[in-house]
């Protein structure tokens, strides 16, 4: 157990639907990162939050959005889902949000059918 908790572990949904992935960071960590892992693209950085505020944005589609709540948990919302959105979505957390060394959660496997 890494201390970063992601739910659900698996999600199967239909095209056009909307889903929400949840991440609870390790205790004491203020920064949350979201990554997408797919076979063709590898691990792609989506977005980072630090203490409730958006810090950095990567290759995140407009159909995707995220937020970090006052209790520091984060949610990634994926809407108008397409087959190509099927992937493993990882959350990671760190104390400072700088430097890059952080702890990953176990991921949510999203399958869009």
Partner 1 sequence: AQSVSQHNHHVILSEAASLELGCNYSYGGTVNLFWYVQYPGQHLQLLLKYFSGDPLVKGIKGFEAEFIKSKFSFNLRKPSVQWSDTAEYFCAVAYGGSQGNLIFGKGTKLSVKP
When the beta carbons of 73 and 109 are compared against partner 1, the nearer one is: 109
Least distance (Å) from partner 1 to the CB of residue 79? 23
Least distance (Å) from partner 1 to the CB of residue 56? 4
Per-residue exposure over 18-48, b if at least 16 CB sit within 10 Å of its own CB, e if not: ebebbbbbbeebbbbbbbbeeeeeeeeebbb
Q: What is the DSSP string of 52-69?
A: TEEEEE-S--TTEEEEE-
CA-to-CA dists, residue 5 to 24, 33, 63, 80, 97, angstroms: 5, 13, 24, 25, 18
Least distance (Å) from partner 1 to the CB of residue 99? 6
Beta strands 10-13 and 108-112: pairing type? Answer: parallel
When the beta carbons of 70 and 101 are compared against partner 1, the nearer one is: 101
Give the binding site for partner 1 (CB under 8 A).
2, 4, 31, 33, 35, 42-45, 48, 50, 55-56, 58, 90, 92, 94, 96-107
When the beta carbons of 48 and 74 are compared against partner 1, the nearer one is: 48
When the beta carbons of 70 and 99 are compared against partner 1, the nearer one is: 99
Least distance (Å) from partner 1 to the CB of residue 81? 23
């Amino acid at each position: 157990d890494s201390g970063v908790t992601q739910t659900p572990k698996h999600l199967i949904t239909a095209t056009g639907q909307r889903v929400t992935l949840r991440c609870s960071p390790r205790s004491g960590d203020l920064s949350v990162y979201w990554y997408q892992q797919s076979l063709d693209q590898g691990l792609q950085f989506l977005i980072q939050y630090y203490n409730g505020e958006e810090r950095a944005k990567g290759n995140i589609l407009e159909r995707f959005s995220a937020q970090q709540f006052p209790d520091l948990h984060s949610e990634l919302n994926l809407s108008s889902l397409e087959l190509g959105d099927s992937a493993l979505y990882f959350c990671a957390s760190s104390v400072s949000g700088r430097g890059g060394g952080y702890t990953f959660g176990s991921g949510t496997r999203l399958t869009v059918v």
